[in-house]
Chain A
Amino acid sequence: MTTQISRRTTPRINVWDLLARFREVGIIVFILLLGAVVTLRAPSFLTVNNFRDILMNISILAIVALGQTIVILTKGIDLSVSSMIGLVAMMVGFVMRQYPETPIFLIVLLGMALGTIAGSFNSIIITFGKVPPIIATLGTLSVYRGLVFFYSGGTWVNSFELPQSIKMLSKGRLFGVPNLILIALFISIIVYLFLKFTRTGRNIYAVGSNVEAAEYAGIRPQRIIFLVYLISGLLSGIGAVLWVSRFESAQTNTALGFELQTVTAAVIGGVSISGGVGTVTGVVLGAILLGIIQNALTLVRISPFWQLAAQGLLILIAVVLDKVIYTRVARN
């Protein structure tokens, strides 16, 4: 941007330094390498259809992982996202079943509102109750899941009970691109702008980087922390509506276990668990990498029994590589 100002920048351009400054480059390189290997073994990997499938599959993950990222930026964690998705999906599903003519934008708004309310419950426990985030959301993880069950009485909302409007929300296409992908892209851009170009967004980084200093600087950390769980709930709410739309059903176990995937996507995307570090591009790429790993393992016909192990191993490799790069840079 304003390069003439940074007079004392290190003139030597170093591969490690580049990798660290643009962490995303590392993920892209990893994706390309993986893609190359997979294409050699399974040419069908490199088709438009396959890529559309991969993107479809990770769209909801990316959206919710962005919420997770915002939370992790403040040193927190939101384990309850999966249950929030389950709860909101079920409630939205019920409304759609009962009132199939409801305009779709109202449904989306409803999902956002319900998600935000669920998130605000986390916020209250964490900010006013001073409960560590991991414990609070571990608790609400089972509480919200219990509510899903209580709410639905164990029943599901099935595909035929849902109106076409909700199904088209994700499946409709604009210029040949499924809406779901466009929605995910749109939300990513919004979150990017929010984190990069608003004071509140910057304050989230500040609070995650040093809470006390933030307080000295006139930021109210409690408000920021309140806000991030709200946002996580909001994005989970959107994720829930999209979930109903894409999977054409709302079940009692909707999104079960999804929370760890969102954390994984964030971590692979370079978000630091100790707060203050992480970018939207990184997380989106992290989600894409996860999607590609899943897709590729199936395509190259690795025995289904070993796929999970390969996935875990790749995650470990990604994290260790990142650390190696970081230490190399720190040493220079």
Chain B
Amino acid sequence: MTVETINKNQQENIISDRQARKSFFSIFLKWEWLLFVLILLVIFINTRLSPFFLNAINLSRTSSDFMEIGLMMLPMVLIIVTGNIDLSVASNMGMSASLMGLMHNMGINIWLAALAGLTLGTLGGVLNGYLVAYVKLPSLVVTLGTFAFFRGIAFGFLGDQAARNYPSQFTFIGQGRVFDTLIPFSVVLFIALALIFGLVLHRTIIGRQLYAIGNNEPAAKYSGVPVEKIKFILFIVSGFISALAGLVLAARFGSTRPDNGTGLELAVITAAVLGGLDINGGKGSMYGATLALVLIGLLRFGMGLLNIQSQVQSMVIGLLLIVSILVPHIGQQIRFLKQVKFRWQSILMTVGLLVVFTAFFIFFFWSRAPIIAQF
């Protein structure tokens, strides 16, 4: 599409170095602000509905529940910005923590064991990174394989055993609080790393190159961006941080089992996408992802306080995920519908779908009626 608006004969400056003027309100209409508003809203509503919501101890305890997800989300944001994905993070975390647990059970010093766990996690990242960057396999496929592989190794290490009785210096990572305040150590760790990752993404050469790769990988390569090297490093970092998250989880649990953290990868991706990241790469910010994490955490906590069942909570988060992508496209949809000339097919289809869905819901409630009656 070629769009050119400038009159070719004009003599004055042909290009400006200023950003296009935006209306005052449009600044507040960025996705990140919407998330912020949503967070305030959730806080407001929850405070009204539950007296336990705005309580420092409770918030402190809840926040540490989400820190492993948060930690793994940081490299995931960078990976998604390049248009890739890492499904193996949670498995990697299980694998590293299991190695650490195994070594701890063998009587090896916990810090040495932790170091070994971090090394193994990083090596897992090396495997992912090598296959994605240099063998050039799609990241979805590679990490789907290592998703099973890493978790399998975790079971191989510990089997039916658990590692427990970690020294309190170690469990401090997951359970401790900083300087007698209520702020958990893991939250401090997360904030520090989030700052670093955010700055790398938004303020450095590497960050710029990540966006370039996500928007147009061949062009980035032709412009001298070391695409392979960056992807390789990215997956290694993801491996390392996953291992770190594994340690935090082990420290929080005070124990390790090989199935620790199963399924967290979907929570990580959900947070990142809800934060406005485009799964196809090239768009999104670290602020957005972090805000989304906070939103999910507060929502979950708030719903928990209201004793909403877990399945319903997942459903709400799932819906929120769909709606968050759906709503910004409403404009497109309206325009699309305006364009469509009224054809009998489209009317028929709409009516048909409505009938089908109505029938479905009638059936849904009718067929479960006997069960409801039982209770």
Q: Do A and B bind each other?
A: yes
Residues of chain A touching chain B, judged by Cβ–Cβ distance below 8 Å, are 77, 91, 94-95, 98, 114, 117, 120, 124-125, 128-132, 134-136, 138-143, 145-147, 149-153, 155, 260, 263-264, 267, 273-274, 303, 305-313, 315-316, 319-320, 323
A150 to B146, CA, bound (A): 34
A-B CB proximity, top 10 nearest: A309-B152, A312-B149, A146-B315, A308-B152, A312-B148, A142-B318, A139-B322, A149-B311, A316-B145, A305-B159
Chain A residues within an 8 Å CB radius of B33: none
For B152, give its contact among A114, A267, A307 (CB under 8 Å).
Answer: A307
**B146 contacts A312, CB within 8 Å?**
yes
A319 to B147, CA, bound (A): 14
4 extra interchain contacts, Cβ-Cβ under 8 A, other than A94-B370, A95-B367?
A: A129-B333, A143-B318, A311-B149, A316-B131
> Given the known A-B contacts A120-B353, A146-B315, are A273 and B360 also in contact in the complex, defined by CB atoms under 8 Å?
no
Chain A residues within an 8 Å CB radius of B309: 149
A84 to B318, CA, bound (A): 14
Chain A residues within an 8 Å CB radius of B321: 135, 138-139
Residues 110-134 of chain B: 1 if any A CB is under 8 Å from the residue's CB, otherwise 0? 0000000000000000000001000
A152 to B360, CA, bound (A): 16
Chain B residues within an 8 Å CB radius of A147: 315
A120 to B312, CA, bound (A): 22
**B144 contacts A260, CB within 8 Å?**
yes
Smallest CB–CB gap between B152 and chain A, Å?
3
**B314 contacts A136, CB within 8 Å?**
no
**B145 contacts A319, CB within 8 Å?**
yes
Smallest CB–CB gap between B30 and chain A, Å?
19
Residues of chain B touching chain A, judged by Cβ–Cβ distance below 8 Å, are 131, 135-138, 140-142, 144-153, 155-156, 158-160, 258, 266, 269-270, 273, 278-280, 309, 311-312, 314-315, 317-319, 321-322, 325-326, 329, 332-333, 353, 356-357, 360, 363-364, 367-368, 370-372, 375
- Which residue of A is nearest B85, CB measured? A134
A124 to B349, CA, bound (A): 12
- Which residue of A is nearest B332, CB measured? A130
**A315 contacts B135, CB within 8 Å?**
no
For B315, give its contact among A132, A142, A274 (CB under 8 Å).
Answer: A142
**A146 contacts B367, CB within 8 Å?**
no
Could you say which of B318, B333, B370 has the most chain A C-beta atoms within 10 Å of its C-beta? B318
**A138 contacts B370, CB within 8 Å?**
no
- Which residue of A is nearest B149, CB measured? A312
Sample 13 A-B pairs with CB under 8 A, ordered by A number. A91-B367, A94-B367, A114-B360, A130-B329, A132-B280, A136-B325, A142-B314, A143-B319, A145-B315, A151-B364, A264-B144, A306-B152, A309-B156
**B315 contacts A263, CB within 8 Å?**
no
A150 to B365, CA, bound (A): 10
A117 to B364, CA, bound (A): 12
Chain B residues within an 8 Å CB radius of A312: 145-152
Chain B residues within an 8 Å CB radius of A264: 144-145, 148
- Which residue of B is nearest A153, CB measured? B371
**A267 contacts B144, CB within 8 Å?**
yes
> Given the known A-B contacts A146-B314, A306-B152, A315-B148, are A138 and B266 also in contact in the complex, defined by CB atoms under 8 Å?
yes
For B155, give its contact among A124, A129, A306 (CB under 8 Å).
Answer: A306
Chain B residues within an 8 Å CB radius of A94: 367-368, 370-371
- Which residue of B is nearest A226, CB measured? B349
A153 to B152, CA, bound (A): 34
Smallest CB–CB gap between A277 and chain B, Å?
12
Smallest CB–CB gap between A170 and chain B, Å?
22
**A311 contacts B135, CB within 8 Å?**
no
A21 to B363, CA, bound (A): 48
> Given the known A-B contacts A312-B149, A316-B145, A320-B131, are A131 and B325 also in contact in the complex, defined by CB atoms under 8 Å?
yes
A129 to B322, CA, bound (A): 9
> Given the known A-B contacts A117-B357, A135-B322, are A316 and B364 also in contact in the complex, defined by CB atoms under 8 Å?
no
**A142 contacts B149, CB within 8 Å?**
no
Could you say which of A91, A94, A139 has the most chain B C-beta atoms within 10 Å of its C-beta? A139
**B329 contacts A129, CB within 8 Å?**
yes
Chain B residues within an 8 Å CB radius of A303: 156, 159
- Which residue of B is nearest A308, CB measured? B152
Chain A residues within an 8 Å CB radius of B140: 77, 273
Smallest CB–CB gap between A321 and chain B, Å?
11
**A308 contacts B151, CB within 8 Å?**
yes
A124 to B352, CA, bound (A): 13
For A319, give its contact among B142, B153, B360 (CB under 8 Å).
Answer: B142
**B131 contacts A128, CB within 8 Å?**
no
For B353, give its contact among A124, A149, A320 (CB under 8 Å).
Answer: A124
**A320 contacts B152, CB within 8 Å?**
no
For A305, give its contact among B136, B155, B367 (CB under 8 Å).
Answer: B155
Chain A residues within an 8 Å CB radius of B332: 130
Chain A residues within an 8 Å CB radius of B136: 323
A131 to B206, CA, bound (A): 29
Chain B residues within an 8 Å CB radius of A145: 311, 314-315
Smallest CB–CB gap between B135 and chain A, Å?
6
Chain A residues within an 8 Å CB radius of B269: 138
**A125 contacts B364, CB within 8 Å?**
no
**B371 contacts A155, CB within 8 Å?**
yes
Chain B residues within an 8 Å CB radius of A98: 367, 370
Could you say which of A273, A305, A311 has the most chain B C-beta atoms within 10 Å of its C-beta? A305
**A132 contacts B371, CB within 8 Å?**
no
> Given the known A-B contacts A143-B315, A143-B318, are A129 and B326 also in contact in the complex, defined by CB atoms under 8 Å?
yes
Chain B residues within an 8 Å CB radius of A141: 266, 318
A75 to B360, CA, bound (A): 29
- Which residue of B is nearest A83, CB measured? B318
**A316 contacts B311, CB within 8 Å?**
no
**A310 contacts B152, CB within 8 Å?**
yes
> Given the known A-B contacts A305-B156, A312-B147, are A132 and B356 also in contact in the complex, defined by CB atoms under 8 Å?
no
- Which residue of A is nearest B88, CB measured? A312
